[in-house]
Amino acid sequence: MLRQVAEGVLIHESEFCQSNAVVVQGRAGALLIDPGVLGDEMAGLANDLRELDQPVVAGFSTHPHWDHLLWHARLGAAPRYGTARCAAAARDQMSGAGWQARVAEWIPPDIAEQMSWDLFGLITGLAADTARIPWDGPHVRIIEHQAHAPGHAALLIEERGVLVAGDMLSDVLIPMLNLDPTADPVEDYLAGLQLLESVADDVDVIVPGHGSVGGADQARARIDQDRGYVQAVRDADAVADQRVGPAAKDGWDWVAGVHARQLQGLAQRK
Ligand SMILES: [Zn+2]
């Protein structure tokens, strides 16, 4: 079921990890950002879009993690964009024998059964200086940074005041650092947050990749919360963050495990 969060901007929330697919209505059809995970849900989304007379005319993946790279045949064959780095990282994951099994190590088995690998990761990279998604609809600014994943893009739907944050600014997930040896997990994350802060005054609605949609007051609050977490783990300070404490939302207690692994990962890099 689609829910409107701003004029011409609708979301579908998945049963998997409260993932948000975002639909932006355009002149000839919709832009679909991070379409979802479960095959049934994406087929349902395709039906909903047909009823709205909004065929998908463009897709976008905010970053090259498996749960943001899926597609469904019924969504059609529109170009699916990402940043050049996102597309390159998706291609890398899909190279060599056995790539599917390697990616599947990240996927809970019950979810893997409900998704399709067809059309996985077929992303067209946009040149590094591309300011906006090329499509016939409201201007969507690309804010690329290297927090969380290479070539991660937040998207600002300018005329609607909607920030599609990808896997940042969540009320349920802590900042998930990119611990790849080639990344600078803490500084990349802080730089990403700074870019988001530079547009915060233009934001009326935030849509995180996973979690609850927030209003204007949430833009800066969530940026501050994420920055507080990253600075605390950087400085080895005690982390006072409700997302990893006893007040974590029901079903999200596993995030404390992610937190523990991140602390370990950061310590090993020193
Ligand atoms: Zn991610």
Res 220: pLDDT: 96
Could you tell me the two tokens for 266? 């950061």
> If you measure from the C-alpha of residue 179 to the centroid of ligand 1, how many angstroms do you get, rounded to a whole number?
12
Could you tell me the two tokens for 66? 């498996």
Alpha-carbon span 195 to 112, nearest angstrom: 34
Alpha-carbon span 145 to 142, nearest angstrom: 10
Res 127: pLDDT: 96
> If you measure from the C-alpha of residue 166 to the centroid of ligand 1, how many angstroms do you get, rounded to a whole number?
7
110 Rama sector, left if φ>0, alpha if ψ -120 to 50, beta otherwise: alpha
> If you measure from the C-alpha of residue 133 to the centroid of ligand 1, how many angstroms do you get, rounded to a whole number?
20
pLDDT of 270 over the 80 cut:
no
Confidence band, pLDDT 50/70/90 cuts, at residue 66:
very high
3-53: pLDDT as tens digits: 999 999 999 999 889 999 999 999 999 999 999 999 999 999 999 999 999
Give 254's contacts (C-beta < 8 A, 6+ positions apart): none
146-159: pLDDT as tens digits: 999 999 999 999 99
What pTM, to 2 d.p., does this model score?
0.96
> If you measure from the C-alpha of residue 43 to the centroid of ligand 1, how many angstroms do you get, rounded to a whole number?
22
Give 13's contacts (C-beta < 8 A, 6+ positions apart): 3, 19, 20
